[in-house]
Amino acid sequence: MKRTVDLFLVGVFAAFAAMNLNDPDPIPWILAYLAVAVLFGLSAFDRADRRVSGWLTVALAVWMLTMTPGVLSWVRAGMPSIAATMQAEEPHIEVMREFLGLLIAVLALVALTWRTPKDARLS
């Protein structure tokens, strides 16, 4: 079951990376999502490293927190829809989509880090 979930998440985060190919700033997003996919791929084959997933969790969480002003602006604006159109016509749409994508990645990495044994190391 663990392997199935891990491989499913590889697909999810690889799809997230692919969706960012047409983003105005694709490189950091593609690298971030592919890194998460790779870590779940390693976990699927019992090759997880708790240190690596932990550090990536921290890095993505810090990046996500830098978007807090945009999230607060969206809340102050009455939380308008971010899914009405595929085009990010308003600045809050892009910020909220990026924030939520990072939140999903961070939560997945927290779970991965938590369930990986403390002595698990890449060799």
Residue 122 belongs to some domain of the structure:
no
Residue 123 belongs to some domain of the structure:
no
What pLDDT is attached to residue 112? 95
Residue 121 belongs to some domain of the structure:
no
Q: What is the pLDDT of residues 49-86, one digit of tens each?
A: 999 999 999 999 999 999 999 999 989 988 888 876 65
Q: How many domains does the chain have?
A: 1
Cα–Cα distance for residue pair 121/123, rounded to 1 Å: 6
Residue 120 belongs to some domain of the structure:
no
Residue 98 belongs to some domain of the structure:
yes
Q: Give the position of tokens 């079951």.
A: 1
Mean pLDDT of 84-103: 79
Residue 94 belongs to some domain of the structure:
yes
Residue 52 belongs to some domain of the structure:
yes
Q: Calculate the CA 100 to chain-centre distance.
A: 8
Residue 74 belongs to some domain of the structure:
yes
Which pTM does this prediction carry? 0.88
**Structural domain that includes position 39:** 2-115
